[in-house]
Amino acid sequence: MEDIIRGTCVDYTFDGKGIIKYNNEVIFVPDVLINEQVKVRVYKKEKNYYLGEVTKYYTKSENRVEPSCPYFNDCGGCHLLHMNYTEQLRFKEKHVQNCINRIGGIDKVVLPIIGMENPYRYRNKVQVSFSKDYKGNVIGGFYKEKTHQIIDNECCLLENEVAEEVISFFKSLIKKYDIEPFDRSSNQGTIRHLLVRTGYYSKEIMVVIITKSKFLPKQNLLIQELIKKFPNIVSIIHNVNEGRTNMILGNTEKCIYGKTYIEDTLCGLKFKISSKSFYQVNPTQTEKLYNEAIKAANLTKEDNIIDAYSGIGTIGLIASKHVNSVVGVEIVKEAIINAQNNARLNNITNAKYFIDDASKFMINYIKNNKADVVFVDPPRSGLDKKFVESILLSKPERVVYVSCDPSSLARDIKLLKEEYDIISIQPVDMFPNTMHVETIVLLCLKDANK
């Protein structure tokens, strides 16, 4: 392969890089759109492809826009800011379609993706890391893609504006009170991260200060300054993460001001959200996602549903008014406690929650109970093979699979299609300006009506 080549982008990778083919070789190049002709410096060979970078644009696509964030080329948070929103949606819809066809082996056309009216400032959960630069100045921001290098930034177009203000003010307090940020290389220092949760409807704010040590310097002063500046702060948590780890939150934490949670409303129900709760980060699109999932399930008052990987109970509790009963299962104890509290908070009496491995629970549950519909909303890695086996064994009439990764989704429904028909595939853009996409798949048992 030559060091410098001229080529035309013909497609995108799963994370939005341009694909250029040259002399039967494939080159992945960031910041290139389909049909753009570019000069590329090829700098690295991987197993089946090369990596390159643009040195010159000969032509530019009508779908190209100037990235509105000054940190776009360095920060790893956004991938698609150089695409207009129409092109972003086309890219994501095609990616889901390709995975369904290629990985799943399923010849089914996906429905048009559901986009967002205003694809900015949607994140109700923001977490940033702190350190010092080579001059000793305090910096705070996100990691550069595939590195531990923090890109110091003052704004993010995806963050809730109030959360952004809280982060900026907290950074100023670290400087004011001379509190040492954490240094990854030496494993020294105090302040590792700051996590801010905001209620979309309630406007309540939670601040989680993550430190290396159990001692938080100037704790009372930090609390006083934060709540004076931001009266909507109702919870401040001190979380301790002593390990050499990429995890943000540690296992030990203490509420040092206010409540241990914030409240917010989703699809007409109230939810208590703690520091470690899984709660979708885009509230307006989450309502669309869950409403679409429930609509796809075609629920009746006779249905008994299982909400697997239930988290704090969002999908199951929202669906509860349409069905006879809801059973939620989740392996994380804190999440189940949250789900039980959320059921009580909304006076929902037909939902029960259990701490257990989802696959083991399913096998035991179906011995004496019937599940008409199973909702699954697993992590990015998808369903455990044992859980897939439990579905095939228990044979609920309908399965509604909510996925945040098209590849693992396609892999799983390929296994399920032996017993299930794929009825609908609905992408939803939950994370505009990033490569991520959410998808709802409805599967119906083939012999359900026989």
Q: Which residues are catalytic?
A: 404
Residue 93 dihedral angles phi and psi, to the nearest 5° = -60, -40
**Rounded Cα gap, residues 210 and 402, in angstroms:** 31
Regarding beta strands 125-132 and 138-143, do their DSSP bridges make them parallel or antiparallel, or are they unpaired? antiparallel
CB distance 271 to 263 below 8 Å:
yes
* Counts of helices then strands in the chain (DSSP H, E): 9, 21
In total, the chain counts a number of residues equal to: 450
* CA-wise closest residue to 273 among 329, 206, 210, 211: 206
Calculate the alpha carbon distances from 169 to 40, 195, 243, 314 in Å: 42, 13, 27, 32
Count CB atoms within 10 A of the CB of residue 65. Answer: 15
Which tokens hold the place of 92? 């994501």
Confirm if 287 and 266 have CB atoms less than 8 A apart.
yes
Amino acid in position 340: Q
Cβ neighbours of 232 (radius 10 Å): 14
Is residue 178 exposed (0-12), middle (13-18) or buried (19+ Cβ within 10 Å)? exposed
| Per-residue tokens: 100 | 């369904």
- End-to-end CA gap in the chain: 59
- Transcribe 85-138 into DSSP letters: HHHHHHHHHHHHHHHHHHTT----PPPPPB--SS-SS-BSEEEEEEEE-TTS-E
3-state DSSP call for residue 303?
Answer: coil
The phi, psi pair for 262, rounded to 5°, reads -115, 160
Q: How far is CA 362 from the centre of its chain?
A: 26
User: Quick check: 18 and 49 in contact, CB under 8 A?
Assistant: no
Say whether 113 sits in a helix, a strand or coil: coil
Place of tokens 């630069």: 133
Comparing C-alpha atoms, which of 45, 54, 42, 50 is closest to residue 3? 42
Identify the DSSP state of 423: E
* CA 178/CA 337 separation, integer angstroms: 38
Q: How far apart are CA 87 and CA 433, in angstroms?
A: 11
